[in-house]
Structure 1
Amino acid sequence: MIIVKNIEDIRGAIAGSCVTIGNFDGVHKGHQKLIELATSRAKAQGLVSVVVTFDPHPLQVLGKAAAPPFITLTEQKLELISQHGPQVCLLLEFTLEMARLSPEEFVRKYLVDGVHMQEMIIGYDYHLGKGRSGNFETLSELGAACGFAVDRLDPVTIDGAVVSSTRIRDLVQSGRVWAARPLLGRFYQVKGRVVHGMNRGGRLLGFPTANLKLVDELFPMPGVYAIWVEVPGEVRMGVANIGINPTFGNDALSVEAHILDYSGDLYGADIRVHFVQRIRDERKFSGLDELRARITKDVELGRQILSQPEAEIMLTRPAFEPGTTPGQPCRC
């Protein structure tokens, strides 16, 4: 997948495209179906498949309401989009100037003139342009005038409810990470760098932990979780605590991961944590012995959970080097 951040870098390089557009926070099952549909339609018609998305998220720029914590930040979002087959991702910087464009101005500048769009596929509730005035009906009228077709994907439902970023966010924030998996098509994951902590896990308790400085915004509610941990070169079982470590009187939120049967040095390494199932609430213990006994039980439970076939990890693998942009886009 080629990533393009400036429309001028690709203008004139594509003879015809099938485009889907959205913020794609989480790249959940609904987003995946939309991207895959655009990709398959493009292939059937001899067109280039193009995904258009934005950075930063429009809510961060418009400031009409406090932006929610995002499920996927840009790097991970691009990784996930790439796995569903599009040839080009147009990653546009969202600005106040862009927000003032009418649907017609935006479509003509970026999609018709920019990538010679022949077909546009949008989600059932997608709007674009100033005042969100570009809906399915107005875009269809614009398509008739500009020579492109518009199709709309029906809502994707799981367990009788529409798959949405809001629903996934609510599940994760309430600790129901297992229930979020079918909506995402994977376990909810965060990425962070291992930093020095208080050195209590291994020294005092016999359970060394990797303390994470997270770059993601959305965290499961405090508690203990069974997790998969991607460390350099392998994937290991683990148990994570999200919280303030009340037994030690802390007041700052931390994420600590104990990686089962692992003895490597991870300081400074970037690791990825996949949250599988919540084991219990965080609570204050009477002392080290009670805490150590509870952690021992947590590790046993975590190992049992992760040994079940339905807890098998579904890894994501980028199909490109994050941050790359095209040199000379090929003509299609």
Structure 2
Amino acid sequence: MITVRNIEDIKDVIAGSCVTIGNFDGVHKGHQKLIHRTCSRAEARGLVSVVVTFDPHPLKVLSSDRNPPFITLTEQKLELLSQHGPQVCLLLHFTMEMAKLTPEEFVRKYLLDGVNMKELIIGYDYHLGKGRTGDFATLTRLGKENGFTVDRLDPVTIEDAVVSSTRIRDLVHAGHVWAVRPLLGRFYQVKGEVVHGMNRGGRLLGFPTANLKLMDELFPKPGVYANWVEVDGRVHMGVANIGRNPTFGNDALSVEAHLLDFKGDLYGRDIRVHFVQRIRDEKKFSGIDELKDRIGKDIELGRQILSQPEAEIQLTRPAFENGSTQNRQD
């Protein structure tokens, strides 16, 4: 997938394209259906498949005081989009000036003059342009006037409910990470740089942890989770704690992952934590001994969960290129 950020860099280059457009937060099963249909139609008609999306998310510009935490930031969103086969991603910088464009102006500037669109595939509830006035009927009219067709897909439902970014956020917030997997087609994940923590995991408790510098916006409900932890494209069993370490009186939110059966130095490296299943709430313990005993039980539960066939993980890409395998936990 080629990512283009400036429309001028691609203008007059594409002879004809099949386009889908959206925010694609999470690149969930509904988004994937749109992308797959776009790629299929492009191939059938000899067109270029194009995904159009935005950075920052329009809500950050239009309602900065009421933003939800986003499932995927731009880097991860582009990575996930590329896995589903589009040839081009047009990543548009969203501004207040863009928000003021009418549907006619947006379609002409970016989709017709920009990528020579011949077919547009949209989701069941997608709107574009000023005041969200570019609905299916409006886009269909514009298509008849400008020589492109418009196809609107039905919503994707799982367990009798529509797959949506809002539904996924609510489940993650509630700690229901296992229920998120069928909606995303993957485990929910966060990425972060391993930094020095309080140096309590290995030294004080006997369970070294990788402390993440938080890079993502959406985190599961505080508690202990069974995880796959990805380092340099390899995955390791793990148990992670999200919370404020109430036994030690901390205030700051932290994500600490213990990698099972692992030795090495992780400081300064980026790792991914894939959340498989919640084990328990975060709890304030009476002291170190009670906490150590509980962590030992958490690790055994985590190992049992991750050993089940349904908890297996498959990576579709090398996550970190040129990575060292010399790792260590704090």
By the TM > 0.5 criterion, same fold? yes
Change beyond 3 A, Cα 1:279–1:51:
same
SS in 2 for 1:285: coil
Match of 1:8 in 2: 8
Residue 251 of structure 1 and its aligned partner are, at CA, apart by 1.1
Cα distance 1:123–1:92, how it changes in 2: closer, same or farther (>3 A)? Answer: same
> Deviating runs (4+, > 4 A) in structure 1?
318-321
Q: Is the 8 A contact 2:223 2:280 kept in 1?
A: yes
- Provide the rounded CA distance (Å) in 1 between the counterparts of 2:83 and 2:205: 41
Matched-pair contact (CA < 8 Å) for 1:52–1:89: yes
Kindly state the Cα deviation for residue 231 of structure 1 after the two structures are TM-superposed: 1.1
Query: 2: distance between equivalents of 1:178 and 1:228?
Result: 13
Q: Distance in 2 between matches of 1:273 and 1:112?
A: 41
TM-score between the two structures when normalised by the length of structure 2: 0.95
2:233–2:318: 8 Å Cα contact kept in structure 1? no
Q: Cα deviation per residue 1:158-201 (whole Å; 9 max; x = unaligned)?
A: 00000000000000000000000000000000000000001101
For 1:72, the aligned partner's letter is T
Partner of 2:241: 241
Corresponding residue of 1:297: 297
Q: Which amino acid aligns with 2:248?
A: F
Unaligned runs of 5+ in 2: 322-330
Distance between the aligned counterparts of 2:289 and 2:199, measured in 1?
A: 17
Q: Distance in 2 between matches of 1:296 and 1:202?
A: 13
What is aligned with 1:151? 151
Conserved in 1, the CA contact under 8 Å of 2:231 and 2:320? no
Aligned to 2:66: 66
1:307 corresponds to which residue?
307
Q: Which residue of structure 1 aligns with residue 81 of structure 2?
A: 81
Question: Does the Cα contact within 8 Å between 1:39 and 1:49 map onto a contact in 2?
Answer: yes
Distance 1:243 1:15 in 2: 52
Write the distance in 2 (CA, Å) between the matches of 1:155 and 1:185: 16
Higher relative contact order (CA 8 A, sep 6+): 1
What's 2:121 paired with?
121
What is the CA RMSD across the aligned residues, in angstroms? Answer: 1.3
The 3 A distance-change label for structure 1 pair 159 and 245 is: same
Change (3 A) 1:121 1:319: farther
User: What SS does structure 2 have at the residue aligned with 1:194?
Assistant: strand
When normalised by structure 1's length, the TM-score is 0.95
The equivalent of 2:197 in structure 1 is 197
C-alpha spacing 1:65/1:130, structure 2 compared with 1 (3 Å): farther
Q: What is the alpha-carbon distance in structure 1 between the residues aligned to residue 39 and residue 284 of structure 2?
A: 51
Tell me the residue number matched to 1:330. none
**2:37 matches 1:37:** yes
Q: Does the 8 Å CA contact 1:228/1:273 hold for their aligned counterparts?
A: yes
Mapped partners of 1:320, 1:300: distance in 2: 29
Q: Quick one: distance in 1 between partners of 2:22 and 2:232?
A: 32
Paired amino acid for 2:104: E
